[in-house]
Amino acid sequence: MELTQTLRQTTRLAMTLQMQHSLQLLQMSTPELILFLENASAKNPALRVTLPRPLPRETSPRPEFGGTWDATAGLEAHGPGLYAYVSNRIETDFAAPRDKQIAYAFLDALEPSGWLGSSVDTVALCCDVPVAAARAVLRKLQQLEPTGLFACSLAECLLLQAEESGVLTWELETLIANLPLLAEGRTTELAELCDCAEEDIPEITAVLRGFDPKPGLQFANDLPPVFPPDLVASRTDEGWSVDLTRSTLPTLQVVEASTQDEDAKTARAEALALVAAVEKRQATLLRVGAALVRHQSAYLDSGPGHLRALTLDMIAGELDLHVSTVSRVCAGCLIAGPRGALPLKALFSRPVDALLGTAGPSQDALAAAITRLVEGENRARPLSDGALEKALAADGFRVARRTVAKYRQALGIPAVSKRRRRA
């Protein structure tokens, strides 16, 4: 056997330090990125990180379109609380990765009161899962103690507690379903709906006083970190503009070392690479956010019924980015606008007909249109699927009746016969 030595030239893709940082930082949410930068600063003497100034939660204004976000910089957590409790339960109660992802999306939407701040449809859209799968995870989350967590409304919060306590009667359920009448003191109408005497209403109402309308406030002393959205969309005379939110990230500074040994040079190179990666992340985030707002300006102006069909591939192709890059930069990022603070992924919506693409309606717009038509129908003469098809066509949604039926069922809207009987 003869051994020989030869030279050979090949071309390979090398993953530079900056590329590694860029891929890692793109998929981080703002709180995760801040924690990562803090840890990097502790290990690298050439990197100095100045954190945003924390403010007491009670002085932090609620996100509002057109406002400034400097006053709502990140807050420090005060030990285990509602969010830590729920997070621990998610880790122990959900084994499937997809269910765990959905559960954490619901946790992101959880208000300090214990109610959900986003609809089930929005969470399902952000996780790219069917609404039915999101509802199944939500039902399991609603079994957590204290009862009433993850309720979508005050009525549902009270209903969950009544069911758990075993005191849910038909009269109490009717009363909960008509809380606005109770708030206005219209006991005569309530008595008619409950099929009871008017003097029985105070007795039924007394049961409600034993429930906790905001179970999340039991954890009020242990508040989670709160950060403003990453982007702000605002209306100008020329149209919509998108800006990065100030004070969402720490200030990064590369410190010159007193010595010029190899360790100091390596630390400085790593610090410079990390600063460049953060700047690239922010620039990519701004580009993607601007493209989303440009496509979804009608939604920002007029609401969910005007959400256009838009996918990750469309944005990636327009910006000459990889689909995975767009997906990573949208993960965990929020944008503030007239519809409140929304996950960036909420601005995506699959087309009803994949062949039509953006030329056809989006799934969310169609669902919103069906919901609006059903809510405004004559209860004595509810709309059939055929009637809904015609009404949708008049609004510009040209879909088949079977498509209407599929979306109606997915939204949990009963068939016309059952809606008529309930009226």
Using alpha carbons, select from 90, 2, 403, 34 the residue that is nearest to residue 226.
34
**Contact criterion met (CB below 8 Å) for 226 and 341:** no
Determine the CATH number of domain 357-422. 1.10.10.60
Question: Which of 16-20, 49-53, 152-156 shows the lowest per-residue confidence on average (mean pLDDT)?
Answer: 16-20
Using alpha carbons, select from 147, 119, 38 the residue that is nearest to residue 364.
119
DSSP calls for 362-396: BHHHHHHHHHHHHHTSBTTBPPPHHHHHHHHHHTT
Question: Which of 311-315, 322-326, 408-412 shows the lowest per-residue confidence on average (mean pLDDT)?
Answer: 408-412
Ranked by mean pLDDT, the top range of 44-48, 258-262, 329-333 is 44-48
- pLDDT-derived band of residue 358, with 50, 70 and 90 as boundaries? low
> If you average pLDDT over residues 47-57, what whole number do you get?
63
Q: Which two tokens stand for residue 305?
A: 């019924």
pLDDT tens, position by position, 282-317:
889 899 999 999 988 888 888 777 788 888 888 888
pLDDT of residue 291: 92
For the chain, the domains span: 17-47+227-252+259-347, 77-224, 357-422
Q: Which two tokens stand for residue 268?
A: 């400085």
pLDDT tens, position by position, 378-390:
877 888 888 888 8
Q: Which two tokens stand for residue 246?
A: 């100030």
What's the predicted TM-score (pTM) here? 0.52
**Contact criterion met (CB below 8 Å) for 271 and 44:** yes
**Contact criterion met (CB below 8 Å) for 319 and 52:** no
- Rounded to 10 deg, the angle between the 363-375 and 120-127 helix axes is 170
pLDDT of residue 287: 92
Using alpha carbons, select from 301, 372, 375 the residue that is nearest to residue 339.
301
**Cis amide bond preceding 63, omega within 30:** no
How many CA atoms within 13 Å lie on the side-chain side of 170? Answer: 5
User: In angstroms, rounded to a whole number, what is the distance separating the alpha carbons of residues 371 and 383?
Assistant: 12
User: In angstroms, rounded to a whole number, what is the distance separating the alpha carbons of residues 307 and 135?
Assistant: 22
> If you average pLDDT over residues 25-54, what whole number do you get?
76
- Own/partner pairs, 353-359, CB within 8 angstroms, 24+ separation: 353/399, 356/309, 357/309, 357/314, 358/295, 358/308, 358/309, 358/310, 358/314
The amino acid sitting at 188 is T
- pLDDT-derived band of residue 108, with 50, 70 and 90 as boundaries? confident
- Angle at Cα 37 formed by Cα 90 and Cα 72, nearest 5°? 75
pLDDT tens, position by position, 206-261:
777 778 878 877 775 444 444 577 888 888 888 888 888 765 677 888 888 767 77
388, with CB counted inside 10 A (0-12, 13-18, 19+), is: buried
What residues pair up with 244 in beta bridges, in sequence order?
231
How many CA atoms within 13 Å lie on the side-chain side of 210? Answer: 14
